[in-house]
């Protein structure tokens, strides 16, 4: 069933705005969700295994990937980790697992949103539209970001030092940096960062501070006196972007 597109000729749907890849590892794919998405204007591609999902993501270049995580193994998490090696495409995880540790594991692997079963299809579609608005390419004022001697390709999620050495940023760090770029030179509160980077399920400000500290160690010339990720005491942070010419990471 991998790569099967759903085309519903409905009077109220004339143009499919976005392509959604639905990935579920198993013999049968949930029929209701793909049909519901198609009715809401999505072009839906189905993949009945995580391996097929990797191939279809490269072939179809979907706007969003919806991954159904399994209860008994980490195949879905490994699928997300493998996807994040080469793609920054928005990913939504569906799962019946509800513990905080399991949700955080998915976010650490690179998902952008986490929806617990059972869920409202209308709410899922609303989340997809919100995610697609945030990740619209037009949201980035520039695709290449220069912070001191470090260059970050926001679209490909690649980062390098000025001397060509590769710089590793985690999926969480990439998402936080992307959030900053969308609001460059403007204050972003702790609450906003939590919502954009970790989703609505976590409210631990310490996690924000830990991620900020890690980004500063990697991006700042002197992390003790940051010039780019600046603290607004008691409120949040601000990204100060330089204007030097940028060369794309190889």
- In the predicted model, is pLDDT for residue 221 greater than 80? yes
Contacts 24+ apart (CB under 8 A), 102-107: 103/199, 103/201, 103/202, 104/198, 104/202, 105/77, 106/69, 106/77, 106/80, 107/172, 107/198, 107/199, 107/202
Q: Per-residue pLDDT tens for 99-132?
A: 788 888 888 888 989 998 888 889 999 999 888 8
Chain-wide mean pLDDT for the chain? 80
Query: Which residues are CB-contacts of 225 (< 8 A; sequence separation ≥ 6)?
Result: none
Q: Give Rg (Cα) of the chain.
A: 19
CA distances 55 to 74, 82, 238, Å, are 19, 12, 38
Domains of the chain from N-terminus onward: 4-135 (3.40.50.2300), 138-239 (1.10.10.10)
Task: Give the pLDDT band of residue 246 (cuts 50, 70, 90).
Answer: very low
pLDDT (tens digit per residue) in 18-66: 889 999 876 545 568 888 898 898 989 999 888 899 999 888 888 899 9
| pLDDT above 90: percentage of residues in the chain | 27
Percent of the chain residues past pLDDT 70, beyond the cut:
81
Tell me if the pTM is above 0.75: no
Q: Please report which confidence band the pLDDT of residue 215 belongs to, taking 50, 70 and 90 as the band edges.
A: very high
Q: What pLDDT digit, counting tens, does each position of 175-206 carry?
A: 888 888 877 778 888 888 887 777 655 667 88
Q: β-strands 42-47, 4-6: how paired?
A: antiparallel
């Amino acid at each position: 069933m991998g790569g099967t597109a759903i085309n519903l000729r409905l009077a109220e749907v004339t143009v499919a705005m976005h392509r959604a890849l639905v990935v579920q590892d198993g013999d049968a794919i949930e029929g209701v969700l793909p049909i519901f998405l198609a009715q809401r204007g999505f072009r839906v591609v189905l993949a009945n295994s995580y391996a097929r999902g990797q191939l279809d993501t490269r072939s179809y270049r979907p706007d969003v990937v919806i991954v159904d995580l399994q209860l008994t193994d980490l195949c879905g998490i490994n699928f997300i980790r493998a996807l994040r090696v080469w793609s920054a495409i928005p990913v939504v995880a569906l799962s019946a697992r509800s513990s905080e540790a399991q949700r955080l594991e998915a976010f650490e692997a690179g998902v952008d949103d986490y929806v617990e079963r059972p869920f409202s299809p209308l709410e899922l579609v609303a989340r997809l539209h919100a995610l697609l608005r945030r990740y619209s390419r037009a949201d980035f004022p520039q695709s290449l970001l220069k912070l001191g001697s470090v260059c970050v390709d926001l679209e490909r999620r690649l980062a390098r030092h000025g001397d060509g050495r590769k710089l590793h940023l985690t999926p969480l760090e990439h998402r936080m940096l992307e959030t900053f770029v969308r609001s460059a030179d403007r204050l972003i509160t702790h609450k906003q960062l939590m919502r954009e980077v970790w989703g609505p399920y976590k409210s631990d400000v310490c996690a924000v501070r830990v991620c900020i500290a890690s980004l500063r160690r990697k991006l700042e010339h002197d992390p003790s006196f940051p010039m780019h990720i600046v603290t607004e005491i008691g409120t949040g942070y601000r990204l100060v972007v330089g204007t030097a010419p940028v060369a794309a990471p190889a």
